[in-house]
Structures are given as structure tokens and as C-alpha cells.
Structure 1
Amino acid sequence: MSDPSGRVPHIDLEWGPTLDAGACTGCGACIEWCRHGVYRWTEDGSRVEVEVKTRCVVGCSHCATLCPEGALSFPTFEEIKRLRRGA
């Protein structure tokens, strides 16, 4: 069920970024841009990893457009429809 703002809560939709760790060069653009704490540096500080996927705002994928290596991906709208619980 959506909240009054029109956003889809994570309880209704399991959605967030997928990171291709092999493609990530550790530029940090996603960490710098995301204010929600979705990403963090790996323990050795050389790469980025997804810390808490559900902190990602449903529908936001701006970090993927910032990634110069294309290491971040999000579900397509068709995949989102399939991911909706009870749909």
C-alpha cells in the first residue's frame, strides 16, 4: 500500500541497487551523491559496497547514472511490477 505522498514503501516492494563489484573502480560518486546511507566503502577503502539496500528511495536511481563504469543497476519498471508483493 502506498503512503499519502505517493511513494511505494519498502514493505510493499523489495527494491534497491545491485552493485557489480568487479566493475566498480572505487570512484565514490555514488557515496558522495546518496544522502540515505545506501553505500559504504569496503573495509580496505578500495571499493564501494551496498550497506543497506532498503535505505534507497524507491524509484531513485540517480547514482547509477553517475557511475562512470556502469557498476550500478536497478530493476526495470517491468521488474518492479513483478516484485510488488501480492501483485
Structure 2
Amino acid sequence: MSLPEKFTYWKGIPRQEINWHPTIDESKCVGCGMCVTTCGRNVFDYDREKRKAVVARPLQCMVGCTSCQVWCVYNAISFPDPQYVKDLIKKRNVLATAKKELQARD
């Protein structure tokens, strides 16, 4: 499966180098579909046999986003520690990229 071009980089960092995506605890997932139907990046699929959501396209997840975890009323979705993203921003000088993006909007 190839990654759509718009998802290949995050702030100049190849997305494959960033360990950020949801994980589903199948024992807690009731298959409500909230994550599948509300994720704007099409990260999830729905396994009709198991009647559970599955993380089908993890690299399409927006780095730092945890919306699906918030929407999951059964606490079946988890993410790495948010400190990971903060450390990545500092380590990879993402702030400079963000500043350039802001200047380009003027």
C-alpha cells in the first residue's frame, strides 16, 4: 500500500520516521464506528466479520492528533505519549518549518 503524497511528510519529516498513530484494544472496542466515521484522514477501516474498527492506514494519522481517542467512549483507542511529539518538534527543528509556513501565508 502506498502512502498518498499529501501524507508523506509532516513538517518536512518523512512520515515513516514518525511513530504516531492510534492503537485499538480489541477487547474494549464495541464496534460503534465512531472512529471510522469521524476520522478525516481515513486512518480506520471496519472489519465486518469481527465487528471492530481497525487501524488500516496508520501513516495517514495527523501527528499529534488524538481526536479518535477522545471520541471513543469505551477507551479502546490509545496513542504514544504526547511528549514524544514535543520532543520530536525540538529534536527535528520543526519550529523553523512552522515559522516558514506562517510567513508563506502572508
Q: Same fold judged by TM-score > 0.5?
A: yes
The CA RMSD over aligned residues, in Å, is 2.2
Shift of 1:65: 0.3
Q: Is the 8 A contact 1:39 1:50 kept in 2?
A: yes
Match for residue 37 of structure 2?
A: 32
Give unpaired runs (5+ residues) of structure 2.
Answer: 1-9, 92-106
Question: Which protein has greater RCO, CA pairs closer than 8 Å, 6+ apart?
Answer: 1
Shift of 1:2: 2.9
Total equivalences in the alignment: 80
Identity, % of aligned positions: 30
Match for residue 18 of structure 1?
A: 23
Give unpaired runs (5+ residues) of structure 1.
Answer: none
User: Which stretches of structure 1, 4 residues or longer, exceed 4 Å deviation after superposition?
Assistant: none
Match for residue 73 of structure 2?
A: 68
The structure that has the greater radius of gyration is 2
Match for residue 47 of structure 2?
A: 42
TM-score, structure 2 normalization: 0.64
Shift of 1:43: 4.0
TM-score, structure 1 normalization: 0.76
Shift of 1:79: 3.7
- Within the candidate set 2, 5, 12, 2:11 is matched to 2
CA distance in 1, matches of 2:14, 2:33: 27
Q: As a proportion of its length, which structure holds more helix?
A: 2
Q: Is the 8 A contact 1:15 1:75 kept in 2?
A: yes
CA distance in 1, matches of 2:17, 2:49: 35
